[in-house]
Amino acid sequence: MSFLLREAMGKKCIVCEAEATYKIKNTSDFYCEECAEEHFADLTLLVKVEEEAQRLRQVLKEKIADLEKDVATLKNVPND
């Protein structure tokens, strides 16, 4: 199982402060491409920041759609 994930954009590498492209899953440790290659023997365990950001965007879209359905349902409930 992969223990490293790429996370949201705008994070900085904990080693060199460059823009991070990798993250260790369930931590706040972010790495740039160069530092990730230097510190981890197998980069296939890493997931790109953009891939994780896309996954999070999809989750948010689904949650928003669910909320919009709930609001529409509530608008159709008769007031007594």
In sequence order, what are the beta bridge partners of 19? 12
Would you kindly state where each structural domain of the chain is located, as residue ranges? 4-75
Encode pLDDT of 29-62 as tens digits: 889 989 998 988 877 667 666 777 788 889 999 9
- The Cα 70–Cα 48 span in angstroms is 34
> What is the structure's pLDDT at 5?
45
Q: pTM for the full model?
A: 0.54
Q: CA 51, 53, 54: angle at the middle one, nearest 5?
A: 65
What's the CATH class of domain 4-75? Answer: mainly beta
Long-range contacts of 21-27, Cβ-Cβ distance < 8 Å, separation of 24 or more: 21/48, 21/49, 22/46, 22/47, 22/48, 22/49, 23/49, 23/52
